[in-house]
Chains A and B, each alone.
Chain A
Amino acid sequence: MNAPLLSVRDLRVAFPTRQGMFEAVRGVSFDLGRERLGVVGESGSGKSMTGRAILGLVRPPGRVTARRMDLHGQPILNLSERKMRKIRGSRISMVMQDPKFSLNPVMTIGDQIIEAYRLHAGGPKGAGRAKALEMLEAVQIRDPERVMGAYPHEVSGGMGQRIMIAMMLAPDPEILIADEPTSALDVSVRTEVLNIMDRLVRDRGMGLIFISHDLNLVAQFCDRVLIMYAGRIVETLAAKDLHAARHPYTQGLLNSLPRLDAPVERLPVLQRQDTWRDGDPITESLETELPGGL
């Protein structure tokens, strides 16, 4: 089982602006296996746009091109909206940053999960309901019966995010793209949500793309990390080796974080260099059975 779930080569996303075409993503290539792949970068690095491009969510006039974007060897680049909708949800799902904006405020949570499930799996309403309850239990929501009847504004942020995950996982997708799933959450809730995602990924053999700005979190949570800068991947490495990162950008990001265990008078500031924009990515030869690494 070494073939990648998702294989992307030379992905580019461009938007027309008054000053000409602006490329938000400039030639990103990676393979995703049954693993937790972290994508890290600062705002504007193109990390979210990469996730959206995979799901076909880049709105015109934005343009997505790639030499290859295959899901299980089957091209999914620029499919028609109808075909894409079939893939979205049932084979690739996405969890957004803030559950408040992703849940429909006028539908009960139960109805939303059931709908999400039946849209892809079909079947009678009763089966959908059973599945929804099962999913809510899987994300460790106590008293799922009560939550099924609640509206989104009646639940807390952490619970909302767990519900989103339940909803996205109901159709058993092969790939989950999580775009800053815990940035809006408090640290104590964060661990819980991550635990849930971690277990689901492991138990179901899903591929997870975890997009985040938080280097340390990604290093601790993921197997492999892509570091993006100005629309390109500048470094790929195994998460456990993050602190031995070689690219000055990665090192700079790590150093600029204040640390409780190592107090300093002034924080080292990242000195950006133009060469990072177009330099070759640093890739270590990964000693894992995971595909890709590029």
Chain B
Amino acid sequence: MLTVDDLNVWFGFAPDRVDAVQHAAFTVASGESFGLVGESGSGKSTILRAIAGLIDTWSGSIEVDGQAVTGTRRSRAFHKTVQMVFQDPYASLHPRHSVDAVLSEALKLQGMDDIDARITRLLQDVGLGRGFRFRYPHQLSGGQRQRVAIARALAAEPRLLLLDEPTSALDVSVQAEILNLLTDLRAEHGLTYVMVSHDLAVVGHMCDRLAVMQHGRILEVMDVDALRRGAGKTDYTRHLIEASAGYIRG
């Protein structure tokens, strides 16, 4: 479904050039849920943005569904295949667009017909009632906003969903609801997930395999059983797993 090889992403120009991602390589099979974990600044979100075509300074190869992509140009087919959910539900919805406007725009851009019925179905899919259709973002809670953002991503009926810390801005009880929703949607629509998170427990819950990143490099790719056992190949991974288990008085 997704193949990334020798991906380098940088910002700025020499001598201030920052290499955010270096020689990243991984593949995600169709129907798989793949996690990218690491601390802030490790480049995990940058990879997603490069795949989505939101960053133009990258080199290497990105193949989606067997089709190589270049620069920031993305074909119509790409938008129908890949969609993204962002971290901050307060920043990812246009403050002046109602839920209805957001979803109908997304549907129109994909050339869908029967928009009315589709909006109702999308809202149903993400667990929002009809009463939410004409609300503005400021009338929604964080979790509801994130549901709308997920509905927007689903409008294109994509097969690959890029999830950039979709629950890190939410309360734990709401996080559970959103994670359950994502699990259900994946089962229902046969989606492939690439999920970025700093929370190992969330990735452990959602993903089959994961890549551990530090300083822009992928240290190792492991499966979730290894994560649960705390069996990292590198010191950093083991340290990360240990630290995220909680606070141990030192």
In the complex, A touching B (Cβ < 8 A)? yes
Query: Using a CB–CB distance below 8 Å, which chain A residues touch chain B?
Result: 42-43, 157, 186-188, 190-191, 194-195, 198, 213, 215-217, 220-221, 252-253, 256-261, 263-270
Which of these, A194, A198, A221, A260, contacts B227 with CB under 8 Å?
Answer: A260
- Which 4 pairs between the two chains have the least Cβ-Cβ distance? A258-B205, A256-B176, A186-B39, A270-B173
Q: B105 — which chain A residues lie within 8 A by C-beta? A: none
Q: A194 — which chain B residues lie within 8 A by C-beta? A: 247
Q: B172 — which chain A residues lie within 8 A by C-beta? A: 42, 213, 215, 253, 256-257
* In the complex, B228 has a CB within 8 A of chain A: yes
Q: Which residue of B lies closest to A198 (CB)?
A: B249
Contact A269 B39 (CB under 8 A): no
Contact A187 B39 (CB under 8 A): yes
Contact B173 A190 (CB under 8 A): no
**Chain B contact residues, majority secondary structure:** helix
Contact A260 B201 (CB under 8 A): yes
Contact A258 B179 (CB under 8 A): yes
| C-alpha gap A36/B39 in the complex (Å) | 28
| C-alpha gap A180/B196 in the complex (Å) | 23
| C-alpha gap A258/B40 in the complex (Å) | 21
| C-alpha gap A71/B173 in the complex (Å) | 35
Query: Using a CB–CB distance below 8 Å, which chain B residues touch chain A?
Result: 39-40, 142, 171-177, 179-180, 183, 198, 200-202, 204-206, 227-228, 239-241, 243-250
Contact A221 B175 (CB under 8 A): no
Contact B245 A252 (CB under 8 A): no
A263-B205 contact given A213-B172, A256-B172, A269-B173, CB 8 Å threshold: yes
Q: B173 — which chain A residues lie within 8 A by C-beta? A: 42, 252-253, 256, 269-270
Q: Which residue of B lies closest to A265 (CB)?
A: B183
Contact B228 A261 (CB under 8 A): yes
Contact A191 B247 (CB under 8 A): yes
Q: B247 — which chain A residues lie within 8 A by C-beta? A: 190-191, 194, 217, 220-221
Contact A258 B171 (CB under 8 A): no
Beyond contacts A186-B198, A260-B241: 18 other A-B pairs, Cβ-Cβ < 8 A, are A42-B173, A43-B142, A186-B39, A188-B243, A190-B243, A191-B250, A213-B171, A220-B246, A256-B176, A258-B179, A259-B201, A260-B201, A260-B227, A260-B228, A263-B205, A267-B205, A269-B173, A270-B173
Q: A42 — which chain B residues lie within 8 A by C-beta? A: 171-174
Minimum Cβ distance to chain A for residue B72 (Å): 29
Minimum Cβ distance to chain B for residue A188 (Å): 5
Q: Which residue of B lies closest to A252 (CB)?
A: B173
| C-alpha gap A252/B171 in the complex (Å) | 12
What are 23 A-B interface contacts by the 8 Å CB criterion? A42-B171, A42-B173, A43-B171, A186-B39, A187-B39, A187-B198, A188-B239, A188-B240, A188-B243, A191-B250, A195-B250, A198-B249, A221-B249, A258-B179, A263-B205, A264-B205, A265-B183, A266-B183, A267-B176, A269-B173, A269-B176, A269-B177, A270-B176
Contact B204 A258 (CB under 8 A): yes
A269-B180 contact given A187-B244, A258-B202, A258-B205, CB 8 Å threshold: yes
Q: B205 — which chain A residues lie within 8 A by C-beta? A: 258, 263-264, 267
